[in-house]
Chain A
Amino acid sequence: MLNFLLSRLARAFLTIMLVMTFAFVVLRLSGDPAMVMLGPDAPKDAVDAFRARWGLNDPIWQQYLAYLTQILTFDFGVSMRDQSPAIDLVLERIPATLALTIPALILKVGIGIPAGVYAALHRESIADRGVIMMSIFGFTIPSFVLGLVLVLIFAVTLDWLPSGGQDTWRHAILPIATMSVGGIGILARFSRSAMIEVLGQPYIRTAMAKGLPWRDVVWKHALRNAAVPIVTLVGFMVGALIAGAVVVESIFSWPGVGRLIVVSVSNRDLAVVQCLLLVIASSMVIANLFVDLAYGLLDPRLRHKSAAH
C-alpha cells in the first residue's frame, strides 16, 4: 500500500512538471508579453525595461531553470499586470468558482446516477427511453448555447432571474443549471450502461438463484460492481471543479477562476497563467489519485493490480 502511494505520488509529481513545461513552451511561442502588455505603439525603452524586469532577455534555458526553481520553491511570481502575487490572484477567485461547480457536481451526481440506474432497472420502458433522450439532449447541447437560451427564457422573457453577475444566490442559479445539464446527461448514460452490463453478469443470476429479493440483488450485488466506471467519471468531474467553468463564467460574467484564465491568457500575464495551470493540473492529479484509491476500496481485484503499476 505504501509502495503504491509513493509510486502514485511520484507519477503525480511528474505529470505536474510535464504540464508546467508544456505551459512554458506554449506561452513563449504564442506572443511577446511586452508587446501585449504595453501595446504595439509603446516606446522602445519602455519595452526594453519591461523585458529586463521580467527576465525576458535571458537565454531560454535560463528562463526555464528560473521558472522550475520558482515552481519547486512555491514562488509563483507576481502578476505582470498589477504586480500583486499571482497565487493570491488565483486563490481569491477559487471560492467564487467552487460556489458554482460544487452545487453543479452535486446535481450531476444526485440526478444523473439515480436516473441512469433507474433506466437500467426498467430497461426499454418509457422512463428508460425518456432518460436516454434527455441525456442525449443534455450532453449534445453546448453550454454556451444552453446558457444563452436559459438567459433568454428566464432573464429576458420571464425576468425571474438575473442574467449575470455575482451579487446574490439567485445569480448562481442559471450558471449552475447550465453547467450541470451536460454532466447529468453523461452520468445518466454512463450509469445506465454500467448497470446494464453488471445486471447481465452471471453473479447477478447467482444472487437471484439464491432467493434474494430483487431489491437486495440490486443494492447488495449490482450497484457496487457498477460503481467502478461511474467513480472514474465522477473523479474527472471532481478534478474539473476548479477549471471547469471557463465558458459558463464568461457567459454569466461570474468572476471566478475561468474568467481569470481568459483574461490572463489574452494579456500574456505569464505568472498568473502558469500559476493557474499549476493549480488546475494539481487538482486534476489529486482527484485522479483519489479515484485510484477508490478503485481499490470498491474492487478487491484492483488492489494488487494497481499496486503493481
Chain B
Amino acid sequence: MTTPDTSARCTPLIRIQREDFDIAAEIAALSRGRADIGAIASFTGLCRDEGGRLSALELEHYPGMAEAELGRVAREAVQRWPLTGLVAIHRYGLIRPAENIVLVIAASSHRHAAFSGAEFMMDFLKTRAPFWKREHLVTGEIGGWVEARDADDAAMARWAQ
C-alpha cells in the first residue's frame, strides 16, 4: 500500500439523481485543466435484464442519508489513497435494462490509487448506501425486492485486512 499523500486530498463529488449521466462528460469535467492527474479509473454499474426476465429495476433510496453515506464512504477513500478526484453518482427510480445505475470515477497521480479507490468506493457503496432494488418483470408484474448478497459483504470485509 502506498503512503497517503495528504496534500493530494480532494473533495469528493456526490450526486443522487433520477436522470441518466454521461460517463465521458463526467470524466472530462473531472480532468479538465488538471495537469496533476495521471490516472483515472471509472466503474459503471448497469441494469441487467436477467436473461430477458426483467423489464426494469426500481431503485428506492433514503433521501438525505444516501448523500450522507456516500459522502462518508468517499471521504474514507480519500483518506486511504492519494486521490486527486473522486466522483460517485447513483440513480434512483425506474431503470431499464442496459441503462446506467451507478458511476464511480477515481483520479490520482498513478493507477494503483485510482483502481483501488474506485473499487473500495463500489464495495462500500453496495453494502452501506441506502438503496434498495425491486424487480419489474416483462410479464408486467412487480416482482420481489432483490436480496442482499453475502458476496457483497465479503467484498467489503476484505478491505479491513
Do A and B bind?
A: no
